[in-house]
Protein backbone atom coordinates (compact mmCIF):
# COMPACT_ATOMS: atom_id res chain seq x y z
CA UNK A 1 0.00 0.00 0.00
CA UNK A 2 1.32 3.43 -0.95
CA UNK A 3 2.38 6.13 1.47
CA UNK A 4 -0.91 7.85 0.64
CA UNK A 5 -2.41 5.95 3.55
CA UNK A 6 0.37 6.82 5.99
CA UNK A 7 -0.33 10.11 7.70
CA UNK A 8 3.23 11.39 7.86
CA UNK A 9 2.23 14.52 9.77
CA UNK A 10 3.59 14.32 13.29
CA UNK A 11 1.11 14.18 16.14
CA UNK A 12 2.24 17.48 17.59
CA UNK A 13 1.78 19.07 14.16
CA UNK A 14 -1.77 17.74 13.98
CA UNK A 15 -2.55 19.56 17.21
CA UNK A 16 -1.57 22.89 15.68
CA UNK A 17 -4.07 25.09 13.88
CA UNK A 18 -4.71 24.48 10.21
CA UNK A 19 -2.13 26.02 7.91
CA UNK A 20 -2.78 28.74 5.35
CA UNK A 21 -2.95 28.05 1.64
CA UNK A 22 0.33 28.56 -0.20
CA UNK A 23 2.06 27.47 -3.38
CA UNK A 24 4.30 25.16 -1.36
CA UNK A 25 1.30 23.48 0.28
CA UNK A 26 -0.45 23.13 -3.08
CA UNK A 27 2.68 21.50 -4.50
CA UNK A 28 2.77 19.02 -1.61
CA UNK A 29 -0.91 18.23 -2.16
CA UNK A 30 -0.26 17.68 -5.86
CA UNK A 31 2.65 15.28 -5.35
CA UNK A 32 0.75 13.48 -2.61
CA UNK A 33 -2.15 13.09 -5.02
CA UNK A 34 0.23 11.70 -7.64
CA UNK A 35 1.63 9.15 -5.19
CA UNK A 36 -1.86 7.81 -4.59
CA UNK A 37 -1.67 6.04 -7.93
CA UNK A 38 0.91 3.69 -6.40
CA UNK A 39 -2.09 2.01 -4.79
CA UNK A 40 -3.20 -0.66 -7.32
CA UNK A 41 -6.83 -0.21 -6.22
CA UNK A 42 -6.99 3.02 -8.22
CA UNK A 43 -5.17 1.82 -11.31
CA UNK A 44 -8.26 0.47 -13.06
CA UNK A 45 -10.99 2.25 -11.18
CA UNK A 46 -11.54 4.97 -13.77
CA UNK A 47 -12.06 2.30 -16.43
CA UNK A 48 -14.60 0.60 -14.17
CA UNK A 49 -16.52 3.83 -13.57
CA UNK A 50 -16.45 4.76 -17.28
CA UNK A 51 -17.91 1.33 -18.08
CA UNK A 52 -20.73 1.97 -15.63
CA UNK A 53 -21.13 5.46 -17.13
CA UNK A 54 -21.71 3.92 -20.53
CA UNK A 55 -23.89 1.06 -19.26
CA UNK A 56 -26.10 3.37 -17.21
CA UNK A 57 -26.32 6.27 -19.67
CA UNK A 58 -29.31 4.97 -21.61
CA UNK A 59 -31.46 3.98 -18.59
CA UNK A 60 -30.51 7.24 -16.89
CA UNK A 61 -31.70 9.18 -19.94
CA UNK A 62 -34.93 7.14 -19.96
CA UNK A 63 -35.69 8.26 -16.43
CA UNK A 64 -34.37 11.77 -17.12
CA UNK A 65 -36.69 12.08 -20.14
CA UNK A 66 -39.62 11.25 -17.88
CA UNK A 67 -38.58 13.94 -15.41
CA UNK A 68 -37.99 16.52 -18.15
CA UNK A 69 -41.37 15.63 -19.60
CA UNK A 70 -42.96 17.07 -16.48
CA UNK A 71 -41.43 20.44 -17.46
CA UNK A 72 -42.23 19.98 -21.17
CA UNK A 73 -38.55 20.01 -22.14
CA UNK A 74 -37.58 18.15 -25.30
CA UNK A 75 -34.60 15.83 -25.44
CA UNK A 76 -33.48 17.89 -28.44
CA UNK A 77 -32.04 20.39 -25.97
CA UNK A 78 -29.60 17.74 -24.75
CA UNK A 79 -28.50 17.18 -28.34
CA UNK A 80 -27.94 20.94 -28.78
CA UNK A 81 -25.90 21.06 -25.58
CA UNK A 82 -23.80 18.06 -26.64
CA UNK A 83 -23.23 19.58 -30.08
CA UNK A 84 -21.97 22.73 -28.40
CA UNK A 85 -19.53 20.93 -26.13
CA UNK A 86 -18.56 17.90 -28.21
CA UNK A 87 -18.28 17.29 -31.90
CA UNK A 88 -21.64 17.36 -33.69
CA UNK A 89 -21.09 13.80 -34.88
CA UNK A 90 -20.56 12.57 -31.34
CA UNK A 91 -23.61 14.45 -30.12
CA UNK A 92 -25.80 12.92 -32.82
CA UNK A 93 -24.49 9.44 -32.04
CA UNK A 94 -25.11 9.85 -28.32
CA UNK A 95 -28.65 11.13 -28.79
CA UNK A 96 -29.23 8.35 -31.32
CA UNK A 97 -28.37 5.83 -28.65
CA UNK A 98 -30.77 7.47 -26.22
CA UNK A 99 -33.66 7.77 -28.67
CA UNK A 100 -33.13 4.20 -29.82
CA UNK A 101 -34.64 3.20 -26.53
CA UNK A 102 -38.21 4.20 -25.97
CA UNK A 103 -38.29 7.44 -24.04
CA UNK A 104 -42.03 7.06 -23.46
CA UNK A 105 -41.71 4.13 -21.08
CA UNK A 106 -44.12 4.69 -18.24
CA UNK A 107 -44.17 1.19 -16.87
CA UNK A 108 -43.18 1.39 -13.20
CA UNK A 109 -41.24 -1.87 -13.36
CA UNK A 110 -39.16 -0.67 -16.31
CA UNK A 111 -38.36 2.60 -14.52
CA UNK A 112 -37.24 0.65 -11.45
CA UNK A 113 -35.01 -1.54 -13.62
CA UNK A 114 -33.63 1.58 -15.28
CA UNK A 115 -32.82 3.10 -11.90
CA UNK A 116 -31.16 -0.14 -10.82
CA UNK A 117 -28.94 -0.03 -13.89
CA UNK A 118 -28.27 3.69 -13.47
CA UNK A 119 -27.29 3.10 -9.84
CA UNK A 120 -24.30 1.07 -11.03
CA UNK A 121 -22.38 4.32 -11.34
CA UNK A 122 -23.31 5.40 -7.80
CA UNK A 123 -22.43 1.94 -6.54
CA UNK A 124 -18.97 2.15 -8.06
CA UNK A 125 -18.39 5.65 -6.69
CA UNK A 126 -19.62 4.45 -3.29
CA UNK A 127 -16.84 1.89 -3.15
CA UNK A 128 -14.24 4.44 -4.22
CA UNK A 129 -15.28 7.05 -1.65
CA UNK A 130 -15.55 4.59 1.23
CA UNK A 131 -12.22 2.99 0.38
CA UNK A 132 -10.56 6.40 0.34
CA UNK A 133 -12.05 7.59 3.62
CA UNK A 134 -11.37 4.34 5.49
CA UNK A 135 -7.72 4.06 4.40
CA UNK A 136 -8.63 0.91 2.51
CA UNK A 137 -9.82 -0.82 5.70
CA UNK A 138 -13.57 -0.93 5.06
CA UNK A 139 -15.35 -4.29 4.72
CA UNK A 140 -17.81 -3.92 1.84
CA UNK A 141 -21.31 -5.41 1.75
CA UNK A 142 -22.57 -5.83 -1.81
CA UNK A 143 -26.32 -5.87 -1.10
CA UNK A 144 -26.26 -2.94 1.33
CA UNK A 145 -24.11 -0.80 -0.94
CA UNK A 146 -26.17 -1.67 -4.02
CA UNK A 147 -29.52 -0.82 -2.45
CA UNK A 148 -28.16 2.46 -1.09
CA UNK A 149 -26.98 3.49 -4.56
CA UNK A 150 -30.50 3.46 -6.06
CA UNK A 151 -31.98 6.49 -4.22
CA UNK A 152 -28.73 8.38 -4.68
CA UNK A 153 -28.83 7.73 -8.42
CA UNK A 154 -32.40 9.03 -8.40
CA UNK A 155 -31.28 12.16 -6.55
CA UNK A 156 -28.51 12.77 -9.09
CA UNK A 157 -30.98 12.47 -11.98
CA UNK A 158 -33.37 14.93 -10.34
CA UNK A 159 -30.56 17.44 -9.73
CA UNK A 160 -29.45 17.18 -13.36
CA UNK A 161 -33.06 17.62 -14.50
CA UNK A 162 -33.50 20.73 -12.36
CA UNK A 163 -30.20 22.09 -13.67
CA UNK A 164 -31.42 21.64 -17.25
CA UNK A 165 -34.73 23.33 -16.45
CA UNK A 166 -32.89 26.33 -15.00
CA UNK A 167 -30.48 26.36 -17.93
CA UNK A 168 -33.27 26.30 -20.53
CA UNK A 169 -36.02 28.37 -18.89
CA UNK A 170 -34.01 30.40 -16.39
CA UNK A 171 -34.29 33.61 -18.43
CA UNK A 172 -38.04 33.25 -18.93
CA UNK A 173 -38.61 32.58 -15.24
CA UNK A 174 -36.38 35.50 -14.28
CA UNK A 175 -38.21 37.83 -16.68
CA UNK A 176 -41.55 36.96 -15.11
CA UNK A 177 -40.21 37.43 -11.59
CA UNK A 178 -37.97 40.49 -11.93
CA UNK A 179 -39.38 42.07 -15.12
CA UNK A 180 -36.04 43.73 -15.80
CA UNK A 181 -33.96 43.46 -18.97
CA UNK A 182 -30.79 44.25 -17.01
CA UNK A 183 -31.47 41.34 -14.67
CA UNK A 184 -32.21 39.16 -17.69
CA UNK A 185 -28.84 40.06 -19.23
CA UNK A 186 -27.10 39.36 -15.95
CA UNK A 187 -28.73 35.95 -15.58
CA UNK A 188 -27.88 35.07 -19.17
CA UNK A 189 -24.24 35.84 -18.37
CA UNK A 190 -24.13 33.64 -15.27
CA UNK A 191 -26.23 30.81 -16.71
CA UNK A 192 -23.25 28.56 -17.36
CA UNK A 193 -21.73 29.18 -13.90
CA UNK A 194 -25.14 28.36 -12.42
CA UNK A 195 -25.11 25.06 -14.29
CA UNK A 196 -21.63 24.40 -12.88
CA UNK A 197 -22.98 25.08 -9.38
CA UNK A 198 -25.73 22.49 -9.88
CA UNK A 199 -23.17 19.95 -11.06
CA UNK A 200 -21.00 20.77 -8.06
CA UNK A 201 -23.98 20.13 -5.78
CA UNK A 202 -24.57 16.76 -7.46
CA UNK A 203 -20.91 15.75 -7.08
CA UNK A 204 -20.80 16.99 -3.49
CA UNK A 205 -23.96 15.05 -2.65
CA UNK A 206 -22.40 11.88 -4.02
CA UNK A 207 -19.14 12.41 -2.13
CA UNK A 208 -21.06 13.09 1.08
CA UNK A 209 -23.94 10.58 0.90
CA UNK A 210 -22.35 7.60 -0.87
CA UNK A 211 -19.78 6.52 1.77
CA UNK A 212 -21.04 4.40 4.65
CA UNK A 213 -18.89 6.61 6.90
CA UNK A 214 -20.60 9.98 7.38
CA UNK A 215 -17.98 12.75 7.44
CA UNK A 216 -18.51 16.54 7.58
CA UNK A 217 -19.45 18.20 4.30
CA UNK A 218 -16.44 20.50 4.68
CA UNK A 219 -14.18 17.43 4.46
CA UNK A 220 -15.36 16.53 0.94
CA UNK A 221 -16.12 20.00 -0.41
CA UNK A 222 -12.59 20.73 -1.79
CA UNK A 223 -12.66 17.59 -3.91
CA UNK A 224 -16.14 18.42 -5.22
CA UNK A 225 -14.93 21.83 -6.39
CA UNK A 226 -11.87 20.29 -8.04
CA UNK A 227 -14.02 17.64 -9.74
CA UNK A 228 -16.49 20.26 -11.03
CA UNK A 229 -13.77 22.37 -12.63
CA UNK A 230 -12.14 19.19 -13.89
CA UNK A 231 -15.30 17.98 -15.64
CA UNK A 232 -15.79 21.36 -17.32
CA UNK A 233 -12.14 21.55 -18.36
CA UNK A 234 -12.00 17.99 -19.66
CA UNK A 235 -15.20 18.48 -21.64
CA UNK A 236 -13.90 21.70 -23.23
CA UNK A 237 -10.46 20.29 -24.03
CA UNK A 238 -11.90 17.10 -25.41
CA UNK A 239 -14.41 19.02 -27.56
CA UNK A 240 -11.49 20.89 -29.10
CA UNK A 241 -9.59 17.66 -29.67
CA UNK A 242 -12.47 15.84 -31.36
CA UNK A 243 -13.20 18.84 -33.57
CA UNK A 244 -9.76 18.72 -35.19
CA UNK A 245 -8.87 15.03 -34.97
CA UNK A 246 -9.68 12.40 -37.56
CA UNK A 247 -7.65 9.62 -35.97
CA UNK A 248 -10.72 7.91 -34.60
CA UNK A 249 -12.28 7.52 -38.04
CA UNK A 250 -9.03 6.09 -39.39
CA UNK A 251 -8.55 3.59 -36.56
CA UNK A 252 -12.09 2.57 -35.69
CA UNK A 253 -14.19 3.38 -38.73
CA UNK A 254 -17.92 3.16 -38.02
CA UNK A 255 -17.22 2.66 -34.30
CA UNK A 256 -15.20 5.86 -33.96
CA UNK A 257 -17.99 7.82 -32.25
CA UNK A 258 -18.57 5.07 -29.68
CA UNK A 259 -14.83 4.96 -28.91
CA UNK A 260 -14.69 8.75 -28.61
CA UNK A 261 -17.68 8.67 -26.27
CA UNK A 262 -16.04 6.01 -24.11
CA UNK A 263 -12.86 8.08 -23.93
CA UNK A 264 -14.89 11.11 -22.81
CA UNK A 265 -16.52 9.01 -20.08
CA UNK A 266 -13.10 7.66 -19.10
CA UNK A 267 -11.63 11.14 -18.64
CA UNK A 268 -14.62 12.31 -16.59
CA UNK A 269 -14.30 9.17 -14.46
CA UNK A 270 -10.69 10.02 -13.72
CA UNK A 271 -11.75 13.49 -12.67
CA UNK A 272 -14.32 12.05 -10.24
CA UNK A 273 -11.70 9.68 -8.80
CA UNK A 274 -9.13 12.45 -8.43
CA UNK A 275 -11.69 14.70 -6.75
CA UNK A 276 -12.25 12.19 -3.96
CA UNK A 277 -8.55 11.43 -3.59
CA UNK A 278 -7.86 15.17 -3.46
CA UNK A 279 -9.97 15.41 -0.28
CA UNK A 280 -7.58 13.12 1.56
CA UNK A 281 -4.46 14.88 0.32
CA UNK A 282 -5.91 18.29 1.15
CA UNK A 283 -6.86 17.18 4.66
CA UNK A 284 -3.39 15.84 5.41
CA UNK A 285 -1.22 18.61 4.01
CA UNK A 286 -3.48 21.51 4.94
CA UNK A 287 -3.79 19.94 8.43
CA UNK A 288 -7.57 20.12 8.57
CA UNK A 289 -7.69 17.00 10.76
CA UNK A 290 -11.11 15.90 9.49
CA UNK A 291 -10.12 12.64 7.77
CA UNK A 292 -7.45 11.20 10.06
CA UNK A 293 -7.86 7.51 11.06
CA UNK A 294 -8.81 8.64 14.58
CA UNK A 295 -11.53 10.97 13.27
CA UNK A 296 -12.87 8.32 10.89
CA UNK A 297 -13.24 5.95 13.83
CA UNK A 298 -14.94 8.68 15.84
CA UNK A 299 -17.39 9.42 13.00
CA UNK A 300 -18.27 5.77 12.58
CA UNK A 301 -18.81 5.18 16.31
CA UNK A 302 -20.95 8.31 16.67
CA UNK A 303 -22.92 7.37 13.58
CA UNK A 304 -24.19 4.13 15.15
CA UNK A 305 -24.64 5.40 18.70
CA UNK A 306 -24.72 2.65 21.32
CA UNK A 307 -23.69 0.04 18.74
CA UNK A 308 -20.79 2.18 17.55
CA UNK A 309 -17.92 0.06 18.89
CA UNK A 310 -19.55 -3.15 17.65
CA UNK A 311 -20.23 -1.69 14.19
CA UNK A 312 -16.69 -0.33 13.95
CA UNK A 313 -15.29 -3.82 14.59
CA UNK A 314 -17.77 -5.28 12.13
CA UNK A 315 -17.25 -2.81 9.29
CA UNK A 316 -13.50 -2.18 9.49
CA UNK A 317 -10.93 -4.79 8.53
CA UNK A 318 -8.60 -5.76 11.37
CA UNK A 319 -5.23 -7.52 11.31
CA UNK A 320 -6.61 -10.58 13.08
CA UNK A 321 -10.12 -10.80 11.65
CA UNK A 322 -9.47 -14.31 10.37
CA UNK A 323 -9.45 -15.59 13.95
CA UNK A 324 -13.07 -14.49 14.35
CA UNK A 325 -15.02 -17.20 12.56
CA UNK A 326 -18.23 -15.17 12.84
CA UNK A 327 -16.79 -12.79 10.23
CA UNK A 328 -16.37 -15.53 7.61
CA UNK A 329 -18.01 -14.54 4.33
CA UNK A 330 -20.59 -16.68 2.58
CA UNK A 331 -17.91 -17.91 0.18
CA UNK A 332 -15.63 -18.95 3.06
CA UNK A 333 -18.48 -20.70 4.92
CA UNK A 334 -19.49 -22.57 1.77
CA UNK A 335 -15.86 -23.54 1.10
CA UNK A 336 -15.49 -24.84 4.66
CA UNK A 337 -18.44 -27.14 4.10
CA UNK A 338 -18.07 -28.30 0.51
CA UNK A 339 -14.41 -27.78 -0.50
CA UNK A 340 -12.44 -30.88 0.63
CA UNK A 341 -9.44 -29.96 2.76
CA UNK A 342 -10.22 -26.24 2.90
CA UNK A 343 -11.58 -26.28 6.46
CA UNK A 344 -8.43 -27.90 7.90
CA UNK A 345 -6.23 -25.52 5.93
CA UNK A 346 -8.21 -22.56 7.22
CA UNK A 347 -7.95 -23.76 10.80
CA UNK A 348 -4.15 -24.11 10.49
CA UNK A 349 -3.95 -20.53 9.21
CA UNK A 350 -6.09 -19.37 12.16
CA UNK A 351 -3.88 -21.17 14.69
CA UNK A 352 -0.75 -19.59 13.17
CA UNK A 353 -2.39 -16.17 13.28
CA UNK A 354 -3.53 -16.65 16.88
CA UNK A 355 0.02 -17.58 17.87
CA UNK A 356 1.31 -14.45 16.12
CA UNK A 357 -1.32 -12.41 17.94
CA UNK A 358 -0.31 -13.84 21.32
CA UNK A 359 3.35 -13.03 20.62
CA UNK A 360 2.47 -9.47 19.62
CA UNK A 361 0.33 -8.98 22.73
CA UNK A 362 3.14 -10.31 24.98
CA UNK A 363 5.68 -7.99 23.37
CA UNK A 364 3.27 -5.08 23.74
CA UNK A 365 2.71 -5.83 27.43
CA UNK A 366 6.48 -6.04 28.01
CA UNK A 367 6.97 -2.75 26.20
CA UNK A 368 4.32 -1.02 28.31
CA UNK A 369 5.79 -2.52 31.50
CA UNK A 370 9.24 -1.27 30.53
CA UNK A 371 7.89 2.24 29.90
CA UNK A 372 6.11 2.23 33.27
CA UNK A 373 9.27 0.98 35.03
CA UNK A 374 11.41 3.68 33.44
CA UNK A 375 8.84 6.33 34.35
CA UNK A 376 8.83 5.12 37.98
CA UNK A 377 12.64 5.25 38.10
CA UNK A 378 12.64 8.81 36.77
CA UNK A 379 10.13 9.83 39.44
CA UNK A 380 12.29 8.22 42.17
CA UNK A 381 15.38 10.00 40.86
CA UNK A 382 13.55 13.33 40.90
CA UNK A 383 12.48 12.72 44.50
CA UNK A 384 16.06 11.86 45.55
CA UNK A 385 17.40 15.01 43.91
Name the most confidently modeled range: 56-70, 154-168, 331-345. Answer: 331-345
pLDDT for the residue 317: 79
* Mean pLDDT to the nearest integer, 269-276: 89
For the chain, domain boundaries? 3-301, 319-384
**pLDDT tens profile 164-215:** 666 666 666 666 666 666 766 776 677 778 778 888 888 898 889 888 888 9
pLDDT for the residue 249: 60
**For the chain, what percent of residues have pLDDT higher than 90?**
4
Instruction: Specify whether the CB–CB gap between 260 and 92 falls below 8 A.
Output: no
Three-state DSSP class for 138? strand
**pLDDT tens profile 36-59:** 878 878 877 788 888 877 777 766
Q: Is the pLDDT of residue 316 over 70?
A: yes
Instruction: Specify whether the CB–CB gap between 161 and 64 falls below 8 A.
Output: yes
316 DSSP β-pair partners: 138
* Mean pLDDT to the nearest integer, 61-80: 62
Q: Where are the alpha helices (DSSP H) in the chain?
A: 11-14, 23-35, 40-43, 45-70, 76-85, 88-100, 108-133, 142-178, 181-189, 191-209, 217-244, 247-252, 256-285, 293-304, 308-315, 330-338, 342-384
pLDDT for the residue 9: 44
* Mean pLDDT to the nearest integer, 292-310: 85
Taking all residues of the chain, what is their mean pLDDT, rounded to a whole number?
A: 75
**pLDDT tens profile 107-145:** 566 667 667 777 787 888 888 888 888 888 888 777 778
Torsion angle of the four alpha carbons 287, 232, 98, 112, in this order, in degrees rounded to the nearest 10: 20
Entry pTM:
0.70
Other Cβ atoms less than 10 A from the Cβ of 372: the count is 10
Instruction: Specify whether the CB–CB gap between 274 and 4 falls below 8 A.
Output: no
Residue 168 exposure: Cα atoms within 13 Å on the Cβ side: 18
Amino acid sequence: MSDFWRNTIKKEDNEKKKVKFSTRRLLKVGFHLWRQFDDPYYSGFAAQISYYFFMSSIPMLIVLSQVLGLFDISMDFIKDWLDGHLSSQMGSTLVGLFTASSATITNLLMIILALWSASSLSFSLSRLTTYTLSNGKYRFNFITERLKAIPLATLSIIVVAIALVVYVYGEIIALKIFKSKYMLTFLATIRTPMLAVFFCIAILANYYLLPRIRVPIAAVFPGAVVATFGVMLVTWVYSQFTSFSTNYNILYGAFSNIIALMLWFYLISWVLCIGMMFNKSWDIHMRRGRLTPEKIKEYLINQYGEKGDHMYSKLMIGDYDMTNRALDTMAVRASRRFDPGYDSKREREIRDLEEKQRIWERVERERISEIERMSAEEIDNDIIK
